[in-house]
Amino acid sequence: MSIQFTCPQCGVTTEVDERLAGQTGPCRQCGATVTVPAEPSQPFAPPPKKSSAPIIIVVLAACLVGAVACGGVLIALLLPAVQAAREAARRSQCSNNLKQIGLALQNYADVYKEFPPQYLADENGKPMHSWRVLILPYMEQQALYDQYDFNEAWDGPHNSQLAAQMPAVFRCPSDPVTATGGTITSYVGVSGPGTIFDGPKSANFANITDGLSNTLAVVEFAGGGVHWMEPRDLDASQLSGIVSPPDGQNISSYHPGGANAEFADGHAQFLSSSIDLQFLRALTTVAGGENVGGF
């Protein structure tokens, strides 16, 4: 193996046998005294370039993880807002349902000069047919009304075949029991002595001395399990408040914070769960004489 070295005086490179390592002699070009290096010289080689690929991969991976994390945070922040917007739309639809029911009650009263009774009874006083059936012609359901047989009970063999044709207006879209179909209604009348739906008796405008806008007529009753043709409603004497979620006894809904209600004048309003119980009971009567402050 040879040794290459450079003369420090003239810069000429000389190559000698490695056995001459450490010996001194004249430069072959300029004659200057030069000492041969003790070890063979290694040719210069630049350091290998480091690949940037791993760095790029790491950076991209970090960016991807960050993007996923940010996306998860954004979804978590937006989800409640989306759910709230959807519930607001469902609550609005529920209110519109009650307005349509209220309009049907008003149209019925225009024809008969009184609101429909809570139910029609047989000769023994047994409830047979609901007010919800009686208002069908006034909510564009004349064909369904014509199929109904008033000579048999609401759950008789013929009428039972009509149950699946329940109008969508009787369903609250927030109620998981009724929203997808079935025969259970979300809305019932406020019934009992002194209410607008006082058994087989019909209330007229003159009877409602508390004022139509101050008298509850129809309310949400989620969880009540009332068949839409069934002559059964919410007993006002059992009220202990407005609840959400439902308990099957009170005015109730799946709307957060309260429930929708329809008044005798046809307007719908959202009633808060925090409403005073005495005030609520005053709203159920047609002629209680209570001061409800023009509610």
| Domain limits, the chain | 83-284
Question: Taking the CA of residue 222 as centre, how many other CA atoms within 13 Å lie in the half-sphere pointing to its CB?
Answer: 24
Digit-coded pLDDT (tens) for 33-71: 767 676 654 444 455 555 555 566 655 556 566 665 656
Q: What is the pLDDT of residue 31?
A: 66
Phi-psi region of 75 (alpha: psi -120 to 50; beta: other; left: phi over 0): alpha
More confident residue, 67 or 245: 245
Q: How confident is the model at residue 130 (pLDDT cuts 50, 70, 90)?
A: very high
Q: Residue range 110-130: average pLDDT?
A: 97
- Is 7 a residue whose pLDDT tops 90? no
CB 260 within 8 A of CB 95: yes
Residue 231 DSSP symbol: S
Q: What length is written for the chain?
A: 295
Is 293 exposed, middle or buried, given 0-12, 13-18 or 19+ CB atoms closer than 10 A?
exposed
The residue with greater pLDDT, 200 or 47, is 200
Radius of gyration (C-alpha) of the chain in whole angstroms: 44
* Beta-carbon-side half-sphere exposure of residue 90 (alpha carbons within 13 Å): 19
* CB distance 267 to 103 below 8 Å: no
Mean pLDDT of the chain: 86
Contact 220, 94 (CB under 8 A): yes
Q: Do residues 78 and 86 make contact, with C-beta atoms less than 8 angstroms apart?
A: no
> Is a pLDDT exceeding 70 seen at residue 265?
yes
- Asked whether residue 290 carries a pLDDT value surpassing 70, the answer given is yes
Q: Can you tell me the mean pLDDT for 252-264?
A: 96
Look at residue 178 in the predicted model and tell me its pLDDT.
Answer: 86
- The arithmetic mean of pLDDT across residues 141-167, rounded, is 97
* pLDDT of residue 91 exceeding 90: yes
What's residue 81's pLDDT? 77
Token pair of 12 as six digits? 């000429």
* Alpha carbon separation from 62 to 53, 67, 69 (Å, rounded): 14, 9, 10
Separation CA 128–CA 70 (nearest Å)? 61
Q: Is the separation of the CB atoms in 237 and 227 below 8 Å?
A: no
Measured CA to CA, the distance from residue 15 to residue 137 in angstroms comes to 118
Query: Are 149 and 211 spatial neighbours (Cβ–Cβ below 8 Å)?
Result: no
Nearest-angstrom CA–CA distance, 194 and 209: 11
What is the per-residue pLDDT for 45?
A: 47
